[in-house]
Amino acid sequence: MNYRAIRAIYLFEMARTWRTLLQSIVSPVVSTSLYFVVFGAAIGSRITEVEGVSYGTFIVPGLVMLSVLTQSISNASFGIYFPKFVGTIYEILSAPISYFEIVIGYVGAAATKSIILGLIILATAGLFVPLHIQHPAWMLTFLVLTAVTFSLFGFIIGIWADGFEKLQMIPMLVVTPLTFLGGSFYSVNMLPSGWRTITLLNPVVYLISGFRWSFYEIADVSVPLSLGMTVGFLVACMAIVGWIFRTGYRLKN
C-alpha cells in the first residue's frame, strides 16, 4: 500500500476545502440554518409533533442527511473531474499508485469533508432546537457509511461527466428531489398507503430512516433494512468503480 501517495491526494483535496472555506463549509451551514428557520416557523407552527417528537427536532436528521448527500457527491465528483478537465489525470494514472489507492485518496477526502460538515450542521441545529442522540455510535455509523457511499457515487459521476453541466445534472435533477421526497421533512407513515408504497421505492428513505432512528428511536422502516440498503448501495458503487478502472471507461480517451 502506497500510503505516501494516498496521503498526497488526500491532503491536496483537503487543502482545497480550506482554500474555499466560504463555499465548502459556510454556505451549506447557512443554507441549512435557513431550512430550520423557514420550516420550523412556517410548518412547525401547524405541525407541533411527529410521532411524539417536536417538528423542529424531527427534521434535524433529514437536514443533516440532505447536506451530507449533496456535499459528498459534489466534493467527490469535482475532485476527480477537475484532473480530467485539465489533463493531470494522466499523471496520476501513470504514477506508481494503484487504482484502489487513488479511490481511497479522493473518496476519503470527500467523505471527510462531508462528515465534518454534517457534524457542524448538527452542532448548529442544537442552537435552534433541543437535541438528544439516543444511539451516538449508530449515528456515526450511518453518517460515515452515507458519506463514503455517496462519495463513491460522486466519484462515478465525476468520471462519467464530460462537461460541467453533466457534473451537476444528476445531483440537481435526481439526488436532491429524492432526498426531499425521502422523508427529510415528514414521516413516511403520514402518507396514504398508496403513496407510502411508492415512497418506499426511494432508496434515500432508508438512509434517513436509519439515521433518524439513532436520534429518537423512531423509524419508517426497520433499522436492519436501512443498514442493509446502505451497505448494498456501497457495494454496488464499489463494483462500478472497479469496473471503470478495469476497462478505463472515460479515463483512457
- The per-residue pLDDT for 199 is 87
As for how many domains the chain has, the answer is: 1
- The per-residue pLDDT for 33 is 77
- The per-residue pLDDT for 157 is 94
10 within some domain: yes
138 within some domain: yes
179 within some domain: yes
192 within some domain: yes
252 within some domain: no
CA 197-199-201 angle, to 5 degrees, is 85
Alpha helix (H) residue ranges in 161-253: 164-170, 176-180, 193-199, 203-216, 223-247
154 within some domain: yes
60 within some domain: yes
CA 244, chain centre distance (Å): 21
Residue 230 has pLDDT above 80, yes or no: yes
Q: At 41, is the pLDDT very low, low, confident or very high (cuts 50, 70, 90)? A: low
Prediction pTM value: 0.90
**Residue 110 φ/ψ, nearest 5 degrees:** -60, -40
Judged by DSSP in three states, 53 sits in strand
Return the H-helix or E-strand segment holding 50: strand 49-50
| Residue range 103-131, pLDDT digits in tens | 999 999 999 999 999 999 898 888 878 88
What is the domain range of residue 207? 3-247
Return the H-helix or E-strand segment holding 54: strand 53-54
